[in-house]
């Protein structure tokens, strides 16, 4: 206002009429509102005045295709919030794709080519439930803009809004909601569920506080405060073992349901080819399979003095560091499916050095291939194994020789008790319905 007053003093001395800054600003705002309100018509008119017969707009206003004043108007809308996209076919035909409806039900949590046990669990249970006739919508990070996780760039952190998550769930007409992780995507889903009074379940797949503490030095108890807050409103927290139950109860989370794991017995079998690279190494062959990361304690395995060859199958942020530090070990990169099964068969023992895993899916895969397990006394091994198929000791140089004495046929028979059918049944039984089920959607 002071500026406007001084400006008008100068204008008056020059013989110019009074000018109002506020009136000018109001007019600009009014014009902008009018433009926004009639955006499509204004754009089409501008296109027509320039002699063009069509206009394409991106990421603003409503997604639509229509004729305006003889001009073909195309707007792809907002692909993140509206889940829409404009597609031009090879024949020149334009189509508006509502990809949330067209593609979402087919989206996997991530690539099935993964040595990540959580990803393989979610994928296997999804496949099992779909085979039974259930419909599933997997809202995974790959459908959103994302950022790399600090120190874990291959893990993407989705930038998703709770309203977007809610619209996807409502449009799918889901009967139940399950939140798989405590990351940004899970947080957005939780926010929508709590805000709209929607019941949901969660799962505790990883010792997240221990992982963060191992990688950053942050006090694990600070992370536990977040874990308690995140899972507290869930109808149930799905857990894989009694050891995990004990940990969660000790931290004030008692509402737990069992969700076991399975193994693909068609892929992971004792009968089949072996990996020629691994079998050519001096025995006994000691194998690690999984993410190559500091929290997996792979260095504890590589430091063991048991004679033979040490083989690491997998990828991750610690790979370059460990390969440089332990040149005598054999780092073969990731293996998937039949190639992974061949690696299991080729080993004399699978070494599971982790102290922080909640289950250890690779253990039952190895057992199915006839390979015994050497592990530390930690959650996962103490729940999954018995002395007939593995050796558990705080000293891997004791556990590895012990496991080498186990019978491979016994290992194969032991693994047969773990099926994805039973895992999927437990998962389905644990879900909290949003409403009385009218369709087989989850």
Own/partner pairs, 273-278, CB within 8 angstroms, 24+ separation: 273/338, 273/342, 273/345, 274/342, 274/345, 274/346, 275/335, 275/339, 275/342, 275/343, 275/345, 275/346, 277/330, 277/332, 278/311, 278/330, 278/332, 278/343, 278/346, 278/347
Has residue 254 been placed in a domain?
yes
Domain check: are 232 and 164 in the same one? yes
Residues 6+ apart with CB under 8 A from 14: none
Domain check: are 286 and 373 in the same one? yes
Residues 6+ apart with CB under 8 A from 414: 367, 386, 388, 389
Domain check: are 330 and 366 in the same one? yes
- The CA distance from 6 to 340, in Å, is 79
Return the closest-CA partner of residue 434 out of 228, 259, 201, 253: 201
- What is the predicted pLDDT for the residue at 436? 41
- The CA distance from 24 to 22, in Å, is 5
Domain check: are 226 and 248 in the same one? yes
Range ranked top by mean pLDDT from 202-211, 415-424, 428-437? 415-424
**Burial category of 293 from C-beta neighbours within 10 Å (exposed 0-12, middle 13-18, buried 19 and up):** buried
Q: Is the pLDDT of residue 424 over 50?
A: yes
- Other CB atoms within a 10 A radius of the CB of residue 334 amount to 18
Q: In the numeric block, which tokens belong to residue 223? A: 């992370």
Residues 6+ apart with CB under 8 A from 23: none
Domain check: are 245 and 283 in the same one? no
Place of tokens 């922080």: 356
How far from 339 is each of 310, 313, 394, CA to CA, in Å?
18, 11, 31
Has residue 440 been placed in a domain?
no
- The CA distance from 4 to 404, in Å, is 88
Domain check: are 238 and 292 in the same one? no
Has residue 179 been placed in a domain?
yes
Domain check: are 228 and 369 in the same one? no
Has residue 83 been placed in a domain?
no
Number of domains in the chain: 2
**Tens digit of pLDDT for each residue in 337-383?**
999 999 999 999 999 999 888 889 999 999 999 999 999 998 889 99
Domain check: are 214 and 244 in the same one? yes
| DSSP conformational letter for 106 | G
- What is the predicted pLDDT for the residue at 105? 37
**Tens digit of pLDDT for each residue in 176-194?**
999 998 888 999 999 999 9
Has residue 50 been placed in a domain?
no
CATH number of the domain residue 338 falls in: 3.40.50.2000
- The CA distance from 228 to 112, in Å, is 30
Return the closest-CA partner of residue 208 out of 191, 226, 193: 226
Domain check: are 142 and 224 in the same one? yes
Has residue 80 been placed in a domain?
no
Q: In the numeric block, which tokens belong to residue 177? A: 């909601």
The boundaries of the domain holding residue 162 are: 112-262+422-430
**Range with the poorest average pLDDT among 32-46, 101-115, 222-236, 428-442:** 101-115
Domain check: are 244 and 337 in the same one? no
Domain check: are 405 and 426 in the same one? no
pTM, 2 dp: 0.70
**Tens digit of pLDDT for each residue in 368-378?**
999 999 999 98
Has residue 53 been placed in a domain?
no
Domain check: are 210 and 312 in the same one? no
Has residue 171 been placed in a domain?
yes
Q: What angle do CA 155, 185, 363 make, to 5 degrees?
A: 50
**Tens digit of pLDDT for each residue in 133-187?**
999 999 888 777 777 766 666 667 777 788 888 888 988 889 999 999 888 899 9
- What is the predicted pLDDT for the residue at 210? 77
């Amino acid at each position: 206002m002071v500026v406007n007053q001084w400006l008008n003093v100068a204008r008056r001395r020059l013989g110019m009429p009074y000018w109002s800054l506020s009136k000018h600003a109001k007019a600009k705002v009014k014009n902008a509102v009018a433009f926004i309100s009639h955006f499509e018509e204004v754009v089409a008119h501008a296109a027509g005045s320039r002699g063009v017969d069509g206009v394409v707009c991106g990421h603003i206003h409503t997604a639509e295709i229509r004729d305006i004043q003889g001009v073909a108007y195309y707007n792809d809308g907002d692909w993140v919030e509206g889940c829409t996209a404009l597609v031009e076919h090879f024949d020149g035909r334009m189509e508006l794709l509502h990809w949330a409806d067209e593609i979402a039900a087919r989206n996997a949590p991530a690539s099935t080519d993964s040595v990540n046990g959580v990803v393989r669990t979610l994928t296997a249970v999804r496949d099992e439930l779909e085979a039974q006739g259930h419909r599933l919508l997997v809202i995974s990070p790959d459908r959103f803009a994302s950022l790399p996780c600090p120190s874990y760039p291959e893990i993407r952190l989705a930038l998703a809004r709770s309203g977007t998550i809610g619209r996807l769930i409502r449009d799918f007409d889901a009967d139940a909601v399950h939140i798989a992780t405590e990351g940004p995507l899970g947080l957005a889903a939780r926010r929508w569920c709590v805000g709209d009074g929607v019941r949901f379940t969660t799962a505790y797949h990883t010792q997240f506080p221990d992982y963060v503490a191992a990688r950053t030095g942050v006090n694990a108890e600070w992370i536990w405060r977040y874990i308690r807050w995140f899972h507290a409103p869930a109808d149930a927290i799905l857990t894989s073992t009694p050891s995990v139950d004990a940990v969660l109860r000790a931290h004030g989370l008692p509402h737990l349901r069992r969700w076991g794991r399975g193994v693909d017995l068609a892929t992971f079998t004792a009968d089949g080819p072996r990996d020629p690279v691994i079998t050519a190494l001096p025995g006994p062959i000691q194998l690690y399979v999984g993410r190559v990361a500091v929290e997996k304690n792979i260095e504890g395995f590589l430091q063991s003095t048991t004679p033979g060859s040490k083989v690491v199958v997998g990828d991750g942020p610690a790979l370059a560091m460990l390969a440089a530090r332990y040149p005598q070990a054999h780092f073969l990169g990731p293996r998937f499916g039949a190639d992974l099964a061949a690696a299991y068969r080729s080993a004399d023992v699978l070494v599971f050095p982790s102290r922080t895993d909640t289950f250890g899916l690779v253990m039952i895969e190895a057992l199915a291939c006839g390979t015994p397990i050497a592990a530390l006394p930690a959650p996962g091994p103490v729940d999954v194994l018995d002395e007939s198929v593995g050796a558990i000791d705080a000293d891997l140089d004791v556990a590895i020789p012990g496991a080498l004495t186990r019978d491979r046929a016994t290992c194969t028979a032991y693994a047969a008790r773990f099926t994805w059918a039973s895992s999927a049944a437990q998962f389905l039984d644990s879900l909290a319905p949003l409403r009385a089920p009218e369709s087989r959607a989850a």
